[in-house]
A and B are shown apart, each in its own frame.
Chain A
């Protein structure tokens, strides 16, 4: 795999996760407030994009992929916890379903796919094995990826602060600080 193709795939990864996060913000501003576990899953998605962002900015490296793996495993743990809370019929659910699966189940699927994608990238991209010189780049890929993720993380940080304050309620019904 060429170095440029690897960078393109990293950019697509970032934009894909940004799309998922933008969807969750749309749902939030549509009136459905995220629960504490939902917020942790969002956090894991955001943390997962840091690996590809560092790859784009400083060159593709194993350590950057490791960050994505740590974050994806963290996110999988949280989403499995939420699935298990509601998996028994009659125990209710949180939020609505999309294509017969709730958003936390979709989150689990996406985290699983991300682990798979990172494993494939580590397997097929030979340059990630070699520790190259750290090359700092601020090309169009970096600018787009950082602008999109910076905007999304800033909105999420403020929205979470307004909704939760220091501690989130289990079933939020509005913004605590407004």
Chain B
């Protein structure tokens, strides 16, 4: 999963280099969103509390 996110950034860099600004920004935002989801899963699976 984490490697996939780095490859997404690499793709985003390539898109920016070839002038695809909107696709590059979309891919970066998608990587941030996936990172947040992954982090959320990491935190919620490690904490055991009753709310």
Q: Give chain A's interface residues, CB within 8 Å of chain B.
A: 36-37, 39-40, 43-44, 46-47, 50, 53-54, 57-58, 63-64, 67, 70-71, 74, 77-78, 81, 134, 136, 146, 149-150, 153-154, 156-158, 160-161, 164, 166-168
Q: A40-B39, A47-B28 are in contact. Are A168 and B17 (CB under 8 A)?
A: no
Return the 5 tightest CB-CB contacts between A and B, nearest first: A157-B6, A161-B3, A160-B3, A39-B2, A50-B28
Contacting B28 at CB < 8 Å: which of A67, A134, A156, A164? A67
Interface class of chain A by DSSP: helix
Q: Which one of B9, B17, B42 has the greatest number of beta carbons of chain A within 10 Å?
A: B9
Q: Which residues of chain B are within 8 angstroms of A166 by Cβ–Cβ distance?
A: 1
Q: Which residues of chain B are within 8 angstroms of A77 by Cβ–Cβ distance?
A: 39
Please tell me the number of chain B residues within 8 Å of chain A, measured between CB atoms.
26
Interface class of chain B by DSSP: helix
Q: A39-B2, A63-B25 are in contact. Are A54 and B16 (CB under 8 A)?
A: yes
18 A-B pairs with C-beta separation under 8 A: A36-B42, A40-B2, A43-B6, A44-B35, A47-B35, A50-B12, A50-B24, A50-B28, A57-B16, A67-B32, A70-B32, A74-B39, A81-B39, A134-B21, A153-B10, A157-B7, A158-B3, A160-B3
